[in-house]
Structure 1
Amino acid sequence: MEPLSIVEDEVVLEGLDGITLPSLWLRLEDRKPAFPLKLDDLSKDFIWKSLIVNTDLRFFQLPKKRGDVVLFDRFKNIEGEPDFDNTQKFSDKDIYPIFITPENKDGILGSCAFLQKRTDVTQDVRSESLAPLLNLQEALEKYGRTLVVVASQVLRFRTLIGIESDPDLKLNDDSFCLLERVGRARWQGELQKDLHGGTFKVDARKLHYLRKALVKHGLITMQPYVTRLYTGQQQNSILLLLKRFHVDRGLELCCIWKEVINY
């Protein structure tokens, strides 16, 4: 991918909630494969100008500041076993609480806690001719961490389902929010036990139903994941990943689990 396509991709993957500029810098620094530009003042200014001229992106002001995205590597401490986490030290902080957008006339899908409370400030950031009305420093001084960049519904949907999928595919609100959540996790994926037990606050049967629809259309993949709890016990779960981020870590245990999770 070209640098500016990568920037757009990171905005898109953050979902309907959008992404603040500080979190965008963090995402680009953590990008895999690595972002080809060194993130300094000049490159950030270049990126800001690219966001301004991109008509698939809009700018919103949140009613309050948002914290920075918290990054982690769930595979860092795997010790020779397939997807085996020996520490379980991932942050519980979630700056994107699930708030499913109901059906609406604009066809907007996704999760966004401040959809009705945030203010569209696109006209204050760029002119009708797509010229910047604020430079990067001015935007940060005026809005700080209340400014988010949000990709269009068409762009978000197309990126999440992938170029090989039917662009006319229909997903219900809940299934799309699950897809969005898994996509935001990028290479780290989401554990099914965390989704039904905390993030989505639904029972395992409903989440299984939502997951099944996404798997049926080839939008996400599943693989076994084992967590060792502080008590020493092992807890089995399923790691969900967007198809483009799937890495086959198949060992003998994976083969056994495939029969279970495909049931």
Structure 2
Amino acid sequence: MDPLDIVMDEVALEGLDGVTILSLWIRLEKRNPAFPRNLDPCTKEFIWKSLVSNHEVDFFELPQERADVVLVDRFADIDPDTGIQEASHWDRVDSYPVQILLEDKSGIQGSCVFFKERRNVTPIIRTTNLTPCVMLEDAFKRWGRKLVMVASQRLRFRVLIGDGGDPDLKLTDHSYCILERVGRARWQGELQRDLHSCSFKTDARKMHYLRKSLTQNDLITMQSHVLRLASGAQQHSILLLLKRFHVDRRSKYDILMELTSNLLSEAPNHTASMITLRDQLRVCIRTV
């Protein structure tokens, strides 16, 4: 992918909330696959000019500064022998509280906590013929972390549905915001439990219903996910990812099934009692 296309991809994945200048650099530095250019001052200025000159990007001033995005790898804390994630190391700061835009007459969809309060400063940043009026350094001095770059509705929807998706597909505002949230998570994905209990604060059954249209239209993938809490208890959920970010990861039960198969293949007559298997697998009777 062309470097400037990658930049637009990262801006679009941030959704209707948009992305601040500093958070964009963080996204590009941590991108997977890696961004093919060093983010030195000259490159950053070139990226800024390309964004300013792009008619699919608008610029807004927020009523207050937004904290920089914090990226944490949930999979770094997964035990390879069990497929279980240790919850004690996963403490992600959410810079994007959910505020669903409902039934917008212009067709805009997404979540944006300051949609009505933010001020469009695009005319200050570029002319009507897309000529930049403000340099990167001057823009940051003037607006700092209050300035966000927002991709058009068309572009944001395109990166969420993928190249093979139907551009004429219609989603409810709630389902779209779930898709937007999953897309912003990139390779990390979102746990359905977190979506209904923390982000959207809704009933689990309603979240299942809203998610259903995304799976029926083949927009997201689902995997089982097990979290071990600090208490030692295990919390089961479903990991949701955009199709473009899907990676097959072995769950706890995939690993246990393989171990069980190996044990039985080596046992006399390929047969063993449940008690013997439980002891060899070192799991509780409930897991068995």
Q: Answer whether TM exceeds 0.5 for this pair.
A: yes
Aligned position for 2:183:
183
Distance 1:32 1:82, change over 3 A: farther
Deviation at 1:89, TM superposition (A): 2.1
Output the CA distance in 2 between the equivalents of 1:254 and 1:172: 34
Aligned position for 1:18:
18
Question: Could you give the per-residue CA deviations for residues 138-177 of structure 1, whole angstroms, max 9, x where no partner exists?
Answer: 0000110000000000111111011211111110000000
Greater share of helix: 2
Question: Could you give the per-residue CA deviations for residues 75-102 of structure 1, whole angstroms, max 9, x where no partner exists?
Answer: 0022214642124322242110000001
Aligned residue pair count: 257
Output the CA distance in 2 between the equivalents of 1:238 and 1:83: 13
RMSD across aligned C-alpha pairs, in angstroms? 1.6
Q: Does 1:94 align with 2:132?
A: no
Q: Which amino acid aligns with 1:14?
A: E
Aligned position for 2:205:
205
Distance 1:169 1:256, change over 3 A: farther
Output the CA distance in 2 between the equivalents of 1:144 and 1:189: 29
Contact 2:12–2:159 under 8 Å retained in 1: yes
Contact 1:74–1:85 under 8 Å retained in 2: yes
SS of 1:221's equivalent in the other structure is strand
Output the CA distance in 2 between the equivalents of 1:179 and 1:226: 22
Output the CA distance in 2 between the equivalents of 1:164 and 1:70: 30
1:219-238 map, 5 Å:
219-238=219-238
Distance 1:44 1:82, change over 3 A: farther
Contact 2:56–2:155 under 8 Å retained in 1: yes
Aligned position for 2:85:
85
Q: Does 1:164 align with 2:150?
A: no
Q: Which amino acid aligns with 2:6?
A: I
SS of 1:238's equivalent in the other structure is strand
Contact 1:72–1:90 under 8 Å retained in 2: yes
Which is greater in Rg? 2
SS of 2:60's equivalent in the other structure is strand
Contact 1:196–1:202 under 8 Å retained in 2: yes
Distance 1:102 1:235, change over 3 A: same
Distance 1:252 1:91, change over 3 A: closer
Output the CA distance in 1 between the equivalents of 2:18 and 2:111: 10
Aligned position for 2:54:
54
Question: Could you give the per-residue CA deviations for residues 102-149 of structure 1, whole angstroms, max 9, x where no partner exists?
Answer: 112100000001000000000000111211100000000011000000
Contact 2:84–2:228 under 8 Å retained in 1: yes
Deviation at 1:204, TM superposition (A): 0.3
Contact 1:223–1:254 under 8 Å retained in 2: no
SS of 2:88's equivalent in the other structure is coil
Contact 2:83–2:250 under 8 Å retained in 1: no
Q: Which amino acid aligns with 1:8?
A: M
Output the CA distance in 2 between the equivalents of 1:254 and 1:213: 27
Percent of pairs identical after alignment?
57
Question: Could you give the per-residue CA deviations for residues 183-211 of structure 1, whole angstroms, max 9, x where no partner exists?
Answer: 00000000111111111000100000011
